[in-house]
Every structure is written in structure tokens, then in C-alpha cells.
Amino acid sequence: RRPPLEGEVNGEGRYRIRGLGPGTWKIRARGPQGRLAVEELTVLPGERNLIRDLHLEPGPLLVGRVTFNGDALPGLELQLVSEERRQVLHTATDREGRFRFVGLDPGDYSLNSENPRKGLRLHRRVTIPRDRELLVELTGALIRGRVLASPGNPAAGISVFLSRLGAEAEASGMSLFQSRTPPSGRIALTVPEGRYRLTLNGEKGGALVRELDARAPEVDLGELELGPGGVLRLELRARPRREVVW
């Protein structure tokens, strides 16, 4: 495989690539807003000073940023699906929560993301007639706590299940959030506001089931200690209520 060659572009949009040998080459250019142009060029033996114009993709560009409770949300996988599923594109947010989709057809799309482990779900309808910039502001409640095998000794590998209750489960389209405690024993799940059933399953068969209201920006479960026989004990502490929109 031949190594790629890079060209230079001047202020008038003219480019030059040196060192092309005989054969078929694919020329790829990227504009300042992420637009792409791809052309194939066949170079015959002895040919010099070939001219080939490149045309950036005419389709609209969608760029944006995702935040959660006002902070950038990095590493969130996003899917952009056109109304007739002619285009299904994937990307992920960068360290600043920014994302970019290029080469789109004008029309209606849905911007989706789903992460059961973190409790994040996004489904938003987006109309893209031309280049568009979008700010996606997610808010919700952080449910956190720590599971201890004994005082000061964290319990790793505890299964954590958080299921929505009642009509909220059907309306959300995503009713179960789950995780497993790391070596630190900590629990951290971000969820839409609502009523939930929390289930913790210990490795030795112990279990705890509690219902809780996640309408505060944060619910602190405190320290959940494994009692005799693997039974879990907990006390719930919630911060003052604040309006939360998902």
C-alpha cells in the first residue's frame, strides 16, 4: 500500500499535491466546517500537471454540545437517524461534550443515545434544513452511595438495579438502570426524576429492596453496610427538591 501524500491549499482554494506516481489515487479534502470531498484520479505513465477540481459535500452540517446539569458530558455515544432511515450516523462527544455530523441530507432526524449503565437516555427530533448548531442540555438526579462489607471496608461486585415504578416506566421507554460496585464500593447512577425501586444483591445472597423518590438533584444513599448473613442496611438522605427536566 502506498503511503498517503498531503497537499497545500492557497487562499484561492487551489491545491497542489506533489509526487503522484502512475496508478489510481483517491483524493480526499476536508473543509473548515468538516465538509468532505472525495475524488478518484488515475495517473498514466508520463502524465504531469493533472488538474482535478474537488467539490465539498453540499449536505448540511450538524454540530453541537451535550451537557448534564450544566457540565460537559464527554464520551457519550450518539446516533443520528433520518426519518426514512436513509442515513444512520454515529459519533461520540469529545472532552468538551461537543459532537459533529457531516454530509447530511436536508430533512427530519432523531438524535438518540442510550446508556443503561449510566442511566442516560436521549431521544430528540431535529430538523436540519441547513447547517445547524444544537445545544443539548440534560438534567436529572444523581443517585450515589457506598456499599461496605464492614465498617471502613468497601464491598465490590454488588449488583445494583434501579427500576422505574408505575406509569413512569412505560412513558420513559427505559425502565431499568444497572451497575456493579467497583473496588471502592461506590454507586453512581444518573436518572430522570421519578419513583424507583432500588435492589442491591450481595455476592452471598443478601439483598436489599427499597423505594425512593429521585426528584431532588441528588439523592445520597450514604453508606450501605452489609450486615450479618449478607443483609444490607441503608439510610436515605435527599437534598432539597429542584425542578428537573429530562
Q: What is the mean pLDDT of residues 5-24?
A: 86
Share above pLDDT 90 across residues of the chain, in percent, rounded to a whole number: 15
For residue 70, give every residue at least 6 positions away whose Cβ sits within 8 Å of its Cβ, in sequence order, or none: 137
Compute the C-alpha angle 71/76/79, nearest 5°: 130
**Amino acid 56: pLDDT:** 74
Q: Give pLDDT tens digits for 96-154.
A: 999 989 878 888 999 998 765 555 678 899 998 888 889 998 877 888 889 888 888 89
Q: Where does the pLDDT of residue 29 fall: very low under 50, low under 70, confident under 90, or very high at 90 and above? A: confident
Please tell me the pTM assigned to this model.
Answer: 0.52
d(CA 199, CA 147) in angstroms, rounded, equals 12
Instruction: Say which DSSP state 140 is in.
Output: -
d(CA 96, CA 237) in angstroms, rounded, equals 32
Q: What is the mean pLDDT of residues 185-204?
A: 81
**Amino acid 35: pLDDT:** 64
d(CA 142, CA 66) in angstroms, rounded, equals 17
